[in-house]
Amino acid sequence: MKHRAYSAYKPSGMEWVGDIPEHWDVRRIKHVASIQFSSVDKHTIEGEKPVRLCNYMDVYYNDFIKEGIEFLSATATRSEITKFQLRHGDVLVTKDSESWDDIAVPAYVA
C-alpha cells in the first residue's frame, strides 16, 4: 500500500467508491470546485501579452503540472490571464476526448 491507512472508515454511500476515511465528507463537486473553460487559443495576436499555454496534452500526459514542462507559446489579454492563470493547488481535468477513458483525466498544478 503506497498510502497510509486511516484509523477508521465509513461507507461513502456510493458502491463504486466504497469506504472512505471517517473524517471525510462526501460532497458534489459543483459545491467545492469551479469549472472554467479557457477561451485562450494557440494564436499570437499583436498587442496581447505573451503566455505559456497549458493544453489538453499537457494535462493528459502529466500527473503534475510544473515548471519544467515545455508549454506552447501564445498570447492572451489581461483579463484572460487574470481569469485563466494557473495557480499552485489547482486541479486541471480534461473535458472531452475521442474515447470515454480519456475524459476527466486530472493533473495537479504543483
Q: Where do the domains of the chain lie?
A: 28-109
Q: pLDDT tens, 63-79?
A: 999 999 999 999 999 99
In the chain, the percentage of residues whose pLDDT exceeds 90 is 72
Rounded to 5 degrees, φ, ψ at 56 are: -50, -50
The pLDDT of residue 50 is above 70: yes
Average pLDDT value for residue range 21-49: 91
CA distances from 98 to 4, 60, 101, 103 (A): 36, 13, 9, 9
pTM of the model: 0.75
62 sits in which H/E element: none
Cell representation of residue 77: 489579454
CA distance 40 to 50: 11
| pLDDT for res 37 | 86
Number of residues that make up the chain? 110
What value does the mean pLDDT of the chain take? 92
User: Residue 31: which residues within 8 A CB-CB, separation 6 or more?
Assistant: none
pLDDT of residue 1: 54
| pLDDT over 70, % of the chain | 99
